[in-house]
């Protein structure tokens, strides 16, 4: 298992800082390192919030090719940026070409972590996906460009890392959640508003929810695992949990009742094989029930029974 890199005093770039995954990470890393954030910043208030946390911000669109104003001397780069506009041309430019362009600009970094997704895997029922499992257009029903853009980005990242000797890790993220929300919270809101929750008929619909506390602790280990041959690893919680299971637990906590709508176009089970992840960065620590209860205590305490 890799020891985490020490981020204290290091110059670190995070892309996609306004997203759900990045927000807890920014709050944890900003006090200990020279943290920079890159985004389009269409909302000035979001940029101001980051700057108030001591983060240096860079207003840049990775799809347009102009990184001239961005420093190129970062120690570590954490690429969380994702675009899913539904426009294939734009999304492939932003996610695929954008990742390669960023890597070339920051090629002196000690390590580059690219956040991919388990959405790259072809649907395969309840079989846990290994890193060498077949890839496919998994999320087309809800996000038309998402899986293909993620696969394209991985290809660009691998080529760039190997061609220019940039130590790199590709982390295929499962279901991130935490005190600031995530998929289980969306399901809570759907239950509150009597909105049916789509599930695949081949039940249970298993995933590996990953709490923010765990990914904050694990990302420095993923950076340590980076190699120029590219380390590709599943990145989720050590516990496999079904949508139906976490919705029933939310029901226990709140009294809200889930309604399910079976659909073959729903994502379906995407449980990951955690063997490689455990060997590289170790098991996760936050129990999923503890994490969901904390999430509701933070975001919707009025719903708790």
Neighbouring residues of 68: CB distance < 8 A, sequence distance ≥ 6: none
Please give the C-alpha separations between residue 99 and each of 105, 149, 220, 261, 298, in angstroms, as whole numbers: 10, 11, 20, 37, 34
Domain ranges of the chain: 11-241+250-303
11-241+250-303 CATH pick, 3.90.230.10, 3.40.50.720, 3.40.50.300, 3.40.50.2300: 3.40.50.720
Write out the two tokens for 138. Answer: 């998994």
Could you tell me how far CA 156 lies from the centroid of its own chain?
A: 18
Q: Hunting for tokens 């041959």 — which residue is that?
A: 229
pLDDT block averages, 10 residues each, the chain of length 305: 97 96 97 97 95 97 90 98 89 95 97 97 95 89 86 98 98 98 98 96 96 98 98 98 98 97 89 98 98 98 93
What DSSP assignment string belongs to 85-123?
A: -S-HHHHHIIIIIHHHHHHHHTTT-SEEEEEEEGGGBPP
Residue 175, beta-bridge partner list: 209
SS3 content of the chain, % helix, strand, coil (to 5): 35, 20, 45
Question: Do residues 5 and 32 lie in contact, with contact meaning Cβ atoms separated by under 8 Å?
Answer: no
Question: Do residues 96 and 152 lie in contact, with contact meaning Cβ atoms separated by under 8 Å?
Answer: yes
CA distance 206 to 48: 38
Helices (H), 234-273: 243-254
Output the pLDDT for position 138. 76
Output the pLDDT for position 265. 84
Question: Do residues 157 and 289 lie in contact, with contact meaning Cβ atoms separated by under 8 Å?
Answer: no
């Amino acid at each position: 298992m890799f020891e985490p890199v020490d981020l204290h005093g290091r110059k670190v770039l995070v892309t996609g800082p306004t997203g759900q995954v990045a927000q807890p990470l920014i709050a944890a890393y900003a006090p200990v390192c020279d943290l920079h954030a890159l985004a389009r910043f269409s909302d000035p208030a979001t940029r101001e919030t980051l700057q108030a946390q001591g983060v240096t911000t860079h207003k840049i669109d990775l799809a347009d090719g102009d990184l001239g104003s961005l420093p190129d001397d970062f120690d570590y780069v954490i690429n969380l940026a994702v675009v899913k506009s539904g426009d294939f041309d734009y999304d492939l430019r932003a996610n695929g070409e954008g990742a390669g362009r960023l890597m070339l600009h920051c090629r002196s970094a000690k390590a580059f972590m690219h956040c991919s997704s388990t959405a790259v895997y072809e649907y395969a029922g309840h079989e846990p996906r290994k890193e060498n499992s077949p890839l496919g257009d998994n999320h087309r029903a809800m996000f038309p460009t998402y899986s293909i853009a993620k696969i394209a980005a991985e290809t660009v990242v691998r080529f760039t890392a190997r061609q220019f000797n940039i130590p790199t890790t590709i982390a295929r993220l499962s279901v991130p959640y935490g005190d600031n929300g995530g998929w289980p919270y969306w399901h809570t809101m759907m239950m509150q508003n009597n909105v049916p929750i789509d599930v695949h008929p081949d039940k249970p619909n298993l995933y590996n929810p990953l709490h923010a506390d765990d990914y904050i602790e694990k990302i420095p280990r993923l950076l340590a695992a980076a190699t120029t041959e590219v380390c590709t690893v599943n990145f989720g919680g050590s516990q496999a949990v079904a949508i139906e299971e976490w919705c029933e637990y939310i029901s226990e906590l709140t009294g809200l009742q889930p309604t399910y709508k079976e659909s073959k176009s729903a994502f379906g089970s995407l449980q990951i094989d955690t063997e490689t992840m455990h060997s590289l960065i170790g098991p996760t620590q936050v129990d999923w029930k503890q994490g969901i209860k904390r999430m509701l205590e933070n975001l919707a305490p009025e719903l708790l029974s």
